[in-house]
Amino acid sequence: MSKLIKVTFLPANETFEFEEGKLPYRDHGLPGSLLDIAMNFGFHLEHACGGSCACTTCHVVAKQGVNNLSEAEDDELDRVEQAADFQLNSRLGCQAVVTGDVTVYIPEWNRNYVSEGH
């Protein structure tokens, strides 16, 4: 039986609940990532590079449940350290895969390091 997971985005104070492993993949970021979850529920989390770990616009700070996020890989750590308002529990929403209840804060400032040429 799959477990029910709650993800809360601050400061919007929007919480989304879903069964682990039951959300369809939305082709942005890693499957099950904060960005993937946000897109599934129609919640806006900026992602200028399409979730490919090439910018910091999906930067979030884990406030609760940091242990319920996948471990950050070197590529993510190299990128997120360049984010405006970088903090100890900073993560990229496109790379942080959710494994349990988590609350994240979306900083006011984001920095985009790529030009998509749209």
The per-residue pLDDT for range 25-42, each reduced to its tens digit, is: 888 899 999 999 999 999
Q: Which letter, b or e, does each residue of 51-68 get, where b requires 16 or more Cβ atoms within 10 Å of its Cβ?
A: bebbbbbbbbbbeebeeb
pTM for this prediction: 0.89
- Structural domains of the chain sorted by starting position, each given as residue range(s) with its CATH number in brackets: 4-105 (3.10.20.30)
Q: What is the pLDDT of residues 3-26, one digit of tens each?
A: 999 999 999 999 999 999 899 988
- What tens digit of pLDDT does each residue of 57-89 get? 999 999 999 999 999 999 999 999 999 889 999
| Predicted pLDDT of residue 21 | 87
